[in-house]
Amino acid sequence: MKSSTPKQTPVTFVNRQGLTLFGVLEEPAGAPSTDIAVLLLSPGVKMRVGPQGLYRRISRELVALGLPVLRFDFYGLGDSEGALPEELLRDVYNHIEVGRFVDDTVDAMDWMQKTRGTKRFLLSGLCGGAITALLAGERDSRVAGLFGIGLTAVLASRAADASRYMTEGQVKDWRGAYARKLLNPKAWYRLLTLQSDNRLIGRIVGQAFRQYVLRQSAAPPPAAPPADDNANPRFPSAFFRMLSSKRPMLLVFGGSDRLQWEFEEKFVARHRERLASMPPFYQVHVVPDANHVLSTDAWQREMLDVTRTWLRRHFSRDVAREAVAASA
């Protein structure tokens, strides 16, 4: 399969807020031979090219495997319409970490399915793109797998209202976690002194009343992090939802990236027993000495080699057996 001269098309589509999003669709030469495509999701505020053009290199490698790749700017970033209201960068990151751009991701899948007939998606991205991929995978069953770089399991700040980005099913899960705290005096102190997330609690209480009226049962609650912890409360449920549905995940970290240690300490260590009981569908690869954005050629090459092997292991019917080396 010759993919050294892929087709590259500027595209636009409208998200559910009525904002026009701009991107680039890269496709192998000739008609795509698969119903699966990659969405390479923007990292933080770096937009669709990624830091130092990283996303362009990733796209070339994936297209060489026969996979179409869509890179686009989320609303308020790059060429896309809209604006972000935060004054501090850490607060922008915080909103991303709890799901700000999941709707845009789902809208991109809808557009690809409508215009290209794509039925399955692999989601990928660096940092904020990786956590957006994970949260979108929890919501949408069209996500067949994800491979993320520097996935963050913690919050950059506490400015975001997580309840704005949660589905009704996720709120139901949290209901059980808060119910267990009713006998905890410290929880009541935090509530009365306005230290708790009262908007989220309000949604939970409101839904609990509606479900009581409708006599609906609650799902098993997720493990709740300590009140003074910066672990992302949405991370565990999304991760375990992917595993329970046997959708593979590849997580690549730089050996010098603090996010790798935070993932191990604030997620893996706290859920080791449950992880051991789940299907073995996630893989972690650490690039020795590498930084967060894998800024050297050698670090990027190792990440791409691992990704190619992972894709062939889990999606052998969707990728080319012999990849054409992408130009530097």
Which CATH number covers residue 149? 3.40.50.1820
Domain that holds residue 67: 7-158+230-314
Which is higher by pLDDT, 229 or 105? 105
Q: What is the pLDDT of residues 16-46, one digit of tens each?
A: 999 999 999 999 987 655 789 999 999 888 8
Query: Rounded to whole angstroms, how far apart are CA atoms 7 and 281?
Result: 32
Res 195 pLDDT > 90: no
pLDDT at 320: 74
pTM: 0.78
138 in the same domain as 66: yes
118 and 253 housed in the same domain: yes
Percent pLDDT > 90 in the chain is: 60
Q: How many CB atoms lie within 10 A of CB 289?
A: 11
Question: What one-letter code names the amino acid at 239?
Answer: F
User: How many domains are there within the chain?
Assistant: 2
143 touches 136 (CB < 8 A): yes
CA-to-CA distance for 224 and 185, rounded, in angstroms? 16
151 plus 283 within the same structural domain: yes
Whether 27 and 128 map to the same domain: the answer is: yes
Strands (E), 20-162: 20-27, 36-41, 69-72, 120-126, 143-149
Look at residue 270 and tell me if it is in a domain: yes
CA dist 30 and 98 (Å) reads 39
At 126 the pLDDT is: 94
Q: Are residues 240 and 278 in the same domain?
A: yes
In a domain, 222, yes or no: no
**208 and 281 co-located in one domain:** no
In-domain check, residue 327: no
Mean pLDDT of 92-108: 93
> Does a structural domain hold residue 219?
no
pLDDT (tens digit per residue) in 72-96: 999 999 899 999 888 888 888 889 9
89 with 204, same domain: the answer is no
Closest CA to 149 of 222, 79, 77, 52: 52
Query: Does residue 144 lie within any of the structural domains?
Result: yes
Residue 275 falls inside a structural domain: yes
Q: Do 292 and 201 share a structural domain?
A: no
265 DSSP assignment: I
- Confidence (pLDDT) at 200: 56
In a domain, 11, yes or no: yes
Nearest CA to 248 out of 109, 120, 72 is that of 120
Does residue 304 belong to any structural domain of this protein? yes
If asked whether residues 153 and 75 sit together in one domain, one would say yes
Same-domain check for residues 53 and 144: yes
Residue 229 pLDDT exceeds 60: yes
What is the residue-averaged pLDDT of the chain? 83
d(CA 325, CA 328): 9
The backbone region for 246, taken as left when phi is positive above 0, alpha when psi lies in -120 to 50, beta otherwise, is left
My answer on whether 123 and 269 are in the same domain is yes
Specify the pLDDT at position 325.
44
